[in-house]
Amino acid sequence: MRSSAAARPQSSPAQAGCARLLATCPDRSGIVAAVSGFLHQRGVNIIHSDQHSTDPEGGRFFMRQEFYLPGLEESIDALARDFGREVAERYQMSWRVVLSGRKKRVAVLVSRLDHALMDLLWRVGRGELHAEIPLVISNHPDLRPAVESFGVDFHHVHVPEALDASRGRSLSVPEEKMLELLEGQPGGPVETLVLARYMRILSPAFVKRFPQRIINIHHSFLPAFEGADPYRRASERGVKLIGATAHYVTGRLDKGPIIEQDVIRVSHRHRLDELKILGRDIERQVLSRAVRWHLEDRVLVDGNKTIVFA
């Protein structure tokens, strides 16, 4: 069993006093009543609740609750400690409590294509995504002016192409440099990474540093056309649908738990360059939805699948 209480960063006024409880456990009778009863006894107002069972007999139970309590920022550690002792241990829960007003710190990794990156920076700047992006890391220097125009730090970390093939069990030199940047930020370490068309493979050792906290956008409707150059392969096969997939990164290329997908219909009239233009629109939309759901703690992982309370 694993538990964690939220830290105490500054909350936004609109979400002061609000928090989220995420819990996963073996399914059995009485879970919802136990959680709701615990919160009720402490004067907590539950403002939203979602739950899902994979199988009522021997399956897994997933829950997401949003709740409100005046002054919660000062008492959340005690509430989490009591919940762990009185409820979570009894039901063998893996769980966490997070303050809703807390902005997650996100770094974006990108190569040369800027469509997904620019969309994320714009949405964060507009307040559509409740996050902070303190830095962008790229294996090419091309996007520095565009990134810095948003007031975001840009770091070029060169990654030799030969490293892609090795995928070693230890960190590469570029990955060590990236970790230094991610962990050494003045406002605190980065929690979530978004690969916005970052065209390099991360080693298993690097991925393990961010379990279920690296989101990738792949430019195909997985599991179709995994790996490189999916638009070209889709064109060669004459597909009638192209799509995009946002998923958590694991040690297996393009096989992590899927968060969101979408497709668009195409025909034999579409050239390869037209497929890419259409596909990039879908990539932006799919990635932004997946990132928003992750930031709002709406995604729970079940093996190699996800439960998304969207």
Q: Is 254 a catalytic residue?
A: yes
DSSP secondary-structure letter at 279? Answer: H
Q: Of 27, 119, 254, 297, which is the active-site residue?
A: 254
Cα atoms in the Cβ-side hemisphere of radius 13 Å centred on 25: 26
| Number of continuous H segments (helices) and E segments (strands) in the chain | 10, 13
Cα distances (angstroms) measured from residue 89 to each of 21, 22, 26, 31, 243:
15, 15, 12, 12, 42
Q: 3-class SS at 128?
A: coil
Structure tokens at 289: 């939805």
Cα dihedral across residues 106, 134, 115, 231: positive or negative: negative
Cα distances (angstroms) measured from residue 261 to each of 159, 194, 288, 289:
29, 16, 11, 9
Give catalytic residues, as residue numbers.
Answer: 254
